């Protein structure tokens, strides 16, 4: 095993010097007057930028809540075997569960797709978050559907 320091010739031991953690002080640094001069403009610009960002966030939240409060109801009605009551141009009314009339539109023209006759409808700006919806076609058919079904495109099949 070796020692950290060789023995002194006179046989005395000496303690190692403590480590230096601090540098010796040097000359004074010049004062930074530019920081004092620019402090007020920086505070004002930062406050204005913060207010602008807050205003943008407020407007975005407002637009988002208005757009989320409405949706477009869409769907198709399978052509009934007896087309006398439900025809293209028949009124399509959408009510909430309490009976409040929310939207009105008409059935589109007949079209055959994959061997199935359909008439489509679409109603803009239907209020959302109303629970179930009642879709009434003319005066002869109605069905209760969910909001997600109306938003994604409900398929209604009137019984013959």
Domain total of the chain: 2
Residue 81 sits in the same domain as residue 130: yes
Highest mean pLDDT, choosing among 74-78, 111-115, 129-133: 74-78
pLDDT of residue 85: 77
Residue at 16 is within a domain: no
Residue 125 sits in the same domain as residue 152: yes
Cβ–Cβ under 8 Å, residues 76 and 153: yes
Residue 82 sits in the same domain as residue 56: no
Domain that holds residue 59: 38-68
Q: Quote the tokens at residue 75.
A: 């769907």
Task: List alpha helices for the chain, DSSP H.
Answer: 33-68, 147-152
Residue 81 sits in the same domain as residue 146: yes
pLDDT, mean of residues 114-122: 87
Residue 103 sits in the same domain as residue 125: yes
CATH number of the domain residue 142 falls in = 2.60.40
Cβ–Cβ under 8 Å, residues 120 and 138: no
Residue at 107 is within a domain: yes
Strand order in the sheet with 133-137: 101-106, 91-96, 133-137, 141-145
- Of 68, 87, 120, the residue at which a domain comes to its end is 68
Residue 121 sits in the same domain as residue 74: yes
Pairing of strands 154-156, 70-78: parallel
pLDDT of residue 31: 78
Looking at the chain, the whole-number percentage of residues with pLDDT higher than 70 is 88
Residue at 138 is within a domain: yes
Residue 62 sits in the same domain as residue 78: no
Residue 114 sits in the same domain as residue 51: no
Residue 99 sits in the same domain as residue 149: yes
Residue at 14 is within a domain: no
- Of 25, 51, 68, the residue at which a domain comes to its end is 68
> ∠156-157-158 over CA atoms, to 5°?
115
Is residue 26 scored above 90 in pLDDT?
Answer: no
Quick one: pLDDT band at residue 37, thresholds 50, 70, 90? confident
Is residue 70 scored above 90 in pLDDT?
Answer: no
pLDDT of residue 50: 94
pLDDT of residue 45: 93
Cβ–Cβ under 8 Å, residues 156 and 118: no
């Amino acid at each position: 095993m070796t020692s950290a320091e060789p023995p002194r010739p006179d046989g005395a031991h000496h303690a190692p010097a403590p480590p230096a953690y601090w540098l010796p002080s040097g000359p004074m640094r010049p004062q930074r007057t530019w920081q004092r001069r620019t402090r007020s403009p920086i505070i004002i610009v930062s406050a204005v930028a913060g207010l602008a960002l807050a205003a943008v966030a407020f407007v975005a939240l407002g637009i988002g809540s208005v757009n989320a409060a409405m949706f477009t109801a869409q769907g198709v009605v399978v052509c009934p075997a007896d087309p006398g009551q439900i025809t293209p141009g028949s009124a399509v009314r959408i009510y909430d569960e309490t009976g409040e009339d929310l939207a009105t539109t008409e059935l589109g023209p007949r079209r055959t797709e994959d061997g199935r006759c359909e008439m489509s409808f679409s109603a803009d700006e239907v209020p959302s978050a109303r629970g179930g919806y009642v879709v009434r076609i003319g005066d002869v058919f109605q069905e209760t559907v969910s909001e997600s079904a109306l938003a994604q495109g409900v398929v209604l099949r009137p019984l013959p």
